[in-house]
Copies of this chain bind each other. A is one copy, B any other.
Amino acid sequence: MEKNVIVDIDVHQAPATRDVLLPFLPKTWHSEWKMMGVLPPHYYSAIGGFRKDAKPESGVHGSDVELMRKQLLDENGIDYAILTSDAINISLYYNPDYANAVASAYNEWTAACWLKQDSRFKGSILINNSDIPAAIKEIERWGDHPDMVQIVMPSASRTLYGQRIFHPLYETAEKYGLPIAIHPTAEGRGTAPEPTNAGYPTRYMEWHAGLSVSYISHLISLVCEGVFEKFPGFKFIGMEGGISWLPNVMWTLDNHYKALRSTVPWLRKYPSEYIIEQFFVTTQPLEEPEKKEYFATILEMIHAEQTLLYSSDYPHWDFDAPKTVELCLPRHLRKAVMGETALKLYGLKRPTGKEAPTT
């Protein structure tokens, strides 16, 4: 197999204990942090949340730099791993002041204890989007940091992500050239509405199998509210929500646009064109259709050569190694999906010894 660039855009680093974060957190929040941390899980997963072999001596998965370096980067030949943290749900915490402080502390801890340890680690700016001006300040604080390459938010939200309250956030992200990624978490927890528009599902399997509903709703909102037209340099990533729901959204929106474009007069292209150019999905979890050729067709339908990014979700139970994913992909898509699209998207330096593909 050729040596492809491999960029893993979804890796969860975690503090080994809550105490680890204290040096980065204002004293006024120490007691609440020690008692509450981030929001607890809402559904019990019968298979746990983590790869069993990714548990370090400290006991917390994703907390040991050395183990992650060895088990994720070295063993899998990963050129860059973008850290997304275990605190993405902080936007749904009840008290925005606490959430702002925890997000800042995570960013400082990540910069100090991870990004300095290995140049292959890159960071995501964790924000609390329940306080937009504070979230903007946090982006401005880190926006010029050479190793902070994306912004993360939860898939759960009280408000659809296309709506105007979020536009200043997108303006700031565009200014710094930082994509915003949403990651599954917190539907029905903290201040988030119920996980479906018909209440709470019964169990983990239902919540997890239905993650697409958040992504579908947010993407429709982003397109129709004109976010991609208003901020043409802005990129949005739907992490870990699957990919095979995307053709439905592209076609349905295009179809509706034909009949109802007077209600979205700011759109100057078909919805699917904005999606292909400014929206991304990730490989983890990979769908496994009944017939193998269906998977290739879905990749064609979503223009995967432009829209699909490799992610491992390390150290979670549904981790996908780069080799597994590469072998599932048609040969002509491997370079783009495994790393080339991400190199461009995040403005990462090409790793030495890995040539640009000749096209």
**A136-177, CB < 8 A from B:** 156-163
Chain A positions within 8 Å of B, measured between CB atoms, are 45-47, 156-163, 187-188, 192-206, 208-210, 212-214, 216-218, 220-221, 224-225, 242, 244-245, 247-257, 259-260, 262-264, 272, 285, 287-290, 294, 297-298, 301, 317-318
Q: Is the CB of A193 within 8 A of B197?
A: yes
Q: Is the CB of A202 within 8 A of B187?
A: no
Q: Residues of B contacting A287 with CB < 8 Å?
A: 248, 251-252, 255
**Copies of this chain held together in the complex:** 2
Q: Residues of B contacting A255 with CB < 8 Å?
A: 285, 287-288
> Nearest chain-B residue to A271 (Cβ)?
B209
User: In the complex, what distance in Å separates the CA atom of A160 from the CA atom of B210?
Assistant: 12
User: In the complex, what distance in Å separates the CA atom of A23 from the CA atom of B162?
Assistant: 48
User: In the complex, what distance in Å separates the CA atom of A106 from the CA atom of B212?
Assistant: 36
Q: Residues of B contacting A192 with CB < 8 Å?
A: 197
Q: Is the CB of A263 within 8 A of B203?
A: yes
In addition to A160-B201, A193-B197, 8 A-B residue pairs with Cβ atoms within 8 Å of each other are A45-B260, A156-B198, A159-B198, A187-B197, A193-B199, A195-B197, A203-B224, A252-B287
Q: Is the CB of B225 within 8 A of A197?
A: no
User: In the complex, what distance in Å separates the CA atom of A342 from the CA atom of B318?
Assistant: 40
A197: shortest Cβ distance to chain B, in Å?
5
User: In the complex, what distance in Å separates the CA atom of A255 from the CA atom of B156?
Assistant: 23
User: In the complex, what distance in Å separates the CA atom of A259 from the CA atom of B161?
Assistant: 31
User: In the complex, what distance in Å separates the CA atom of A225 from the CA atom of B249?
Assistant: 27
A172: shortest Cβ distance to chain B, in Å?
21
Q: Residues of B contacting A194 with CB < 8 Å?
A: 193, 197
User: In the complex, what distance in Å separates the CA atom of A216 from the CA atom of B241?
Assistant: 14
Q: Is the CB of B264 within 8 A of A205?
A: yes
